[in-house]
Amino acid sequence: MDILPVLDFAISLALIYTFCSMLTSWITEFIAQRRNFKGRFLKTCLTRLLRDERNLNLAEDVFKHPLIYRTKESEKRLPDRIEPKLFARVLVDVVGQVGKDTGLSHDPETGETSFRGDEVVANSDARFVSGVTAMKEGNLKRILSNLATSASAKKVSVESEIQEWYQDHRSEMSKWYKKEIRVPLFVVGLCFALFANVDSVHLADELWHNAELRNRVAKAGIDFVEENGEKLPDEAYQETMRRLSGLGLPIGWQDFWQYEIHKVHFPRGTDSTEVDVTIEYPTGKITPMIADSLSIALTAPDSVLTIVKSFNIDPGIPPLPEEPGFWSKVKDVWSWFWGNLGDGLLKFIGFLLTAFAVSFGAPFWYDMLRRLTDYRKTAAKEPATSNSTGT
Note whether residue 148 is domain-resident: yes
pLDDT of residue 270 exceeding 80, the answer is no
Residues 157 and 48 in one domain: yes
Give the model's confidence band at 296: pLDDT under 50 very low, under 70 low, under 90 confident, else very high: very low
Residue 256: per-residue pLDDT? 60
Residues 155 and 43 in one domain: yes
The DSSP call for residue 300 is S
User: How wide is the angle at C-alpha 176 spanned by C-alphas 168 and 364, nearest 5°?
Assistant: 100
Note whether residue 12 is domain-resident: no
- Mean pLDDT, residues 371-386 taken together: 78
In total, how many domains does the chain have?
Answer: 2
Task: Evaluate if pTM is beyond 0.75.
Answer: no
Pick from 134, 168, 136, 137: nearest CA to 150? 168
Note whether residue 3 is domain-resident: no
How many whole angstroms separate alpha carbon 160 and alpha carbon 172?
19
Residues 282 and 154 in one domain: no
Residues 40 and 171 in one domain: yes
Residue 191: C-alpha distances to residues 18, 184, 188, 196, 363 (Å): 17, 11, 5, 9, 21
Note whether residue 19 is domain-resident: no
Give the model's confidence band at 383: pLDDT under 50 very low, under 70 low, under 90 confident, else very high: low
Alpha helix (H) ranges present in 111-199? 124-134, 139-154, 158-196
Amino acid in the structure at residue 133: T
Segments forming the whole domain that contains residue 152? 34-175
CB of 358 closer than 8 Å to CB of 21: yes
Note whether residue 124 is domain-resident: yes
pLDDT of residue 4 exceeding 60, the answer is yes
pLDDT of residue 309 exceeding 90, the answer is no
CB of 381 closer than 8 Å to CB of 13: no
Higher-confidence residue: 232 or 388?
232
Residue 313: per-residue pLDDT? 43
Note whether residue 336 is domain-resident: no
Note whether residue 91 is domain-resident: yes
Residues 61 and 167 in one domain: yes
Provide the 10 A C-beta neighbour count for residue 30: 12
Q: Which of 24-28, 195-199, 200-204, 267-271 has the lowest mean pLDDT?
A: 267-271
Residue 209: per-residue pLDDT? 92
Report the half-sphere exposure of 118 (CA within 13 A, side-chain side): 0
pLDDT of residue 222 exceeding 50, the answer is yes
Pick from 383, 2, 4, 17: nearest CA to 219? 4
Each residue of 72-104: pLDDT tens digit? 777 778 888 889 899 999 999 888 887 664 445
Residues 159 and 63 in one domain: yes
Please name the residues in contact with 95: beta carbons below 8 A apart, sequence gap of 6 or more.
58, 128, 131, 132, 135, 144
- Mean pLDDT, residues 353-362 taken together: 94
Domain boundary among 175, 210, 242: 175
Residues 47 and 161 in one domain: yes
Residue 358: C-alpha distances to residues 11, 181, 184, 278, 361 (Å): 15, 12, 11, 38, 6
Residues 144 and 269 in one domain: no
Long-range pairs of 216-219 with CB within 8 A, sequence gap ≥ 24? 216/247, 216/248, 217/8, 217/11, 217/12, 217/15, 217/16, 217/247, 217/249, 218/7, 218/8, 218/9, 218/11, 218/12, 218/15, 218/376
Domain boundary among 120, 148, 175: 175
Note whether residue 139 is domain-resident: yes
Domain boundary among 323, 339, 365: 323
Residue 77: per-residue pLDDT? 85
